[in-house]
Amino acid sequence: MASVSVEAVRKRYGALEVVHGIDIAIPDGEFVVLVGPSGCGKSTLLRMIAGLEEISGGVVRIGERVVNEVPSKDRDIAMVFQNYALYPHMTVRENMGFSLKLRKADRGTIGERVKRASEILGLDTLLDRYPKQLSGGQRQRVAMGRAIVRNPQVFLFDEPLSNLDAKLRVQMRTEIKALHQQLKTTSIYVTHDQIEAMTMADRIVVMHDGIVEQIGTPLELYDRPANLFVAGFIGSPAINLIRGTLRRDAARSWVSTDAGIDLPLNGNIIGQDGQAVVYGIRPEHLSPSDSDGLPVTVGVVEPTGASTFVYADLSGAQICGVFSERHGFNPGGKMHLMPQLDRVHLFDSATGRRLSA
C-alpha cells in the first residue's frame, strides 16, 4: 500500500488543455473520491494516475516513486472499469488470475489468491463461468476480484457502478466500502454521482472544468462548501440559492433580495454593505413556521413517506424545503419558512467564493 501524490498535473491535447494543474495528496490507506460533472477532467486525471494517458505536465507519485514515465504494468495498481473490461474468452478464475499469471506466479499461489478473493466477494461458485454467463452485479464483483487478487498499492475505480441498476448500485456501494474497511488499500474512485461520493469517501475532491474546486471530508463539503459550485453540487435535493444584496448596519446583517424580501443572517460573515451576494440554505435546514421567516406560496408537495418535499415560490425565486412533518402543506396556500441561521451559506456573487465564516 502506498500514498499517492498529484502535483501540478496538467493534460493537454494539442493546444487544448483539459486539466489545469491539479494538486492532491492522498495518504496511505485513504479512500478518495473524485467527483464532478462529465467533462470536468476527473476520468482523465485517474487515467493519468493509471498510466493510460500521458501526463503533459506536473508529477504523479505512487509511494515515493515518480511514475510519470513508468508504464501502467509497472505502477503496481489495479483498476476497475466502468464496463468491467472482463476478458470474454477467459473464465472468472482465469480473469482473476491473469495478472498473477503474467507475473509468472506459480499455480499454487494463483489458485490460493483467487480462492481467497472469490470468498471475500462471494464468487466461489462462479469461478468456472464465462463473463457472458454472469449478471451485471456478478461481473462487477469479478472486476473487483481481479483487482483484489493483485494486492496492489492502489485501487483505481472509474465510475464502476454506473452500468448497474439503482438498487444494485446502492448494494455494491456498501460492499465496496466494506471491502475498503477490510483491505485498507489506498483507493481513488471516480464518479459523477455526489451521493456515491458522500457515502463512500474518506475525502472528496470536487472537480470542475479541469480544476479542483474543493477537497475535504464529505461533511466538510456539506457544512462548509468553499464556493457556489461545491454548494450546488453537493446535497440532494440541491441547496436553495437566492440572489440579493448584502446589507449591514451596526446592529446586524441581512440580505435583501431583488424582490425586496429580507433574508436573515447571523453576524458571522465577511463582506461589505451593498455587495452582490448569493444566499444559500439547504432544503433540510428550513423549518415551517406560522409567522416568522420567509413568506412563500406553496407549489408542489411531494410526500416520500420519510419526509415531505415542498417546492414553494418566494417572490419569483423557487425554494425547496424538506420537512419531517407530513401535513399542513396546501398547494397554493401561504406559509413561512424559517432558515436555521447557523446553517446559512453566503457567497460572493461575482467570484462565487464563500463569505460566511
Partner 1 sequence: MVAVIDVQAGEKAPGRLSQEAIWGLIFLVPYIVLFLTLVIYPVGYGLILGTNPKSYVRLWTDPVFTRTIVNTVVFLGVAVNIKLFLALLLSGFFAHEKRWIRWLSVIFILPWAIPSIPTILSFRWMLNAEWGMLNSLIFRLTLEDGPNWLLDRWSGLGMISLVHIWKYLPFWTLIMLAGRLAIPKDLYESADVDGASPLQKFFYVTFPSMRNLYITCTLLSTIMSLGDFNSIYLLTGGGPADSTQTLATLGIRYAFGMSEVEVGVTTVVVALPVMLPLLVLMLRRMRKGEQP
Partner 2 sequence: MSLRKILIEARLMLLGVVIFIWTLIPIYHLFVMSITPRVETFAGALWPSRPTLENYETVVKQGHYYLEHFWQQLWNSAFVAVMVCVITLVIASTATFAISRLRVRGGRLVSNMALATYLIPPAFLAIPMYKVMGVYGLLNTQWSLILTMVTFASPYAIWVLKQYADKLPYELDEAARIDGASPLQIFRLIYLPLMAPSLVAIGTYALLLAWNEYLYAFLLLSADKDITLAVALGHFLTTDDAPFNVLMATGAVYALPPAAIYYVFRRYMVSGLTAGAVKS
- Binding positions for partner 2, rule: CB under 8 A: 50-52, 71-73, 75, 77-79, 81-83, 85-89, 98-99, 102-103, 146, 150
The grid coordinates listed for 230 are 461545491
Q: Nearest approach, Cβ of 167 to partner 1 (angstroms)?
A: 31
Q: How far is the CB of 199 from partner 1 (least distance, A)?
A: 34
Closer to partner 1 at the Cβ: 64 or 290? 64
Q: Give the whole-angstrom CA distance, residue 101 versus residue 92.
A: 14
* Cα–Cα distances in angstroms (integers) from residue 331 to residues 12, 32, 299, 323, 327, in the given order: 52, 43, 5, 15, 12
Stretch that binds partner 1, among 68-76, 162-170, 179-187, 342-350 (CB under 8 A): 68-76
Pick from 57, 111, 137, 295: which binds partner 1 (CB under 8 A)?
Answer: 57
Least separation in angstroms between CB 87 and partner 1:
19
Smallest distance from partner 1 to CB 9, Å? 8
What three-state secondary structure class fits 58? strand
d(CA 283, CA 312): 11
Q: How far is the CB of 100 from partner 1 (least distance, A)?
A: 21
Q: Which of 163, 159, 166, 217 is nearest to 191 (CA)?
A: 159
Contact 334, 296 (CB under 8 A): yes
Helix, coil or strand: residue 136? helix
Closest separation in Å from C-beta 81 to partner 2 = 5
Which residue, 9, 82, 85, 7, is CA-closest to 45? Answer: 9
Shortest Cβ distance from residue 71 to partner 2 (Å)? Answer: 7
Minimum CB distance to partner 1 smaller for 53 or for 220: 53
DSSP bridge partners of 1: none
- Under 8 Å between Cβ of 138 and 95: no
Please count the residues of this chain forming the interface with partner 1, following the rule CB under 8 A.
14
Q: Is residue 25 a contact point for partner 1 (CB under 8 A)?
A: no
- Residue 69 binds: one of partner 2, partner 1, none (C-beta under 5 to 8 A by kind): partner 1
Query: Which member of 13, 23, 66, 341 binds partner 1 (CB under 8 A)?
Result: 66
Going by C-alpha positions, the residue among 244, 307, 325 that lies closest to residue 281 is 244
Q: Where are the beta strands (DSSP E) in 217-264?
A: 240-248, 253-257, 262-264
Residue with smaller CB distance to partner 1, 55 or 317: 55
66 binds, among partner 1, partner 2, none (CB under 5 to 8 A by kind): partner 1
Specify the residue, 14 or 260, whose C-beta has the smaller distance to partner 2.
14
Does the footprint of partner 1 cover residue 55 (CB under 8 A)? yes
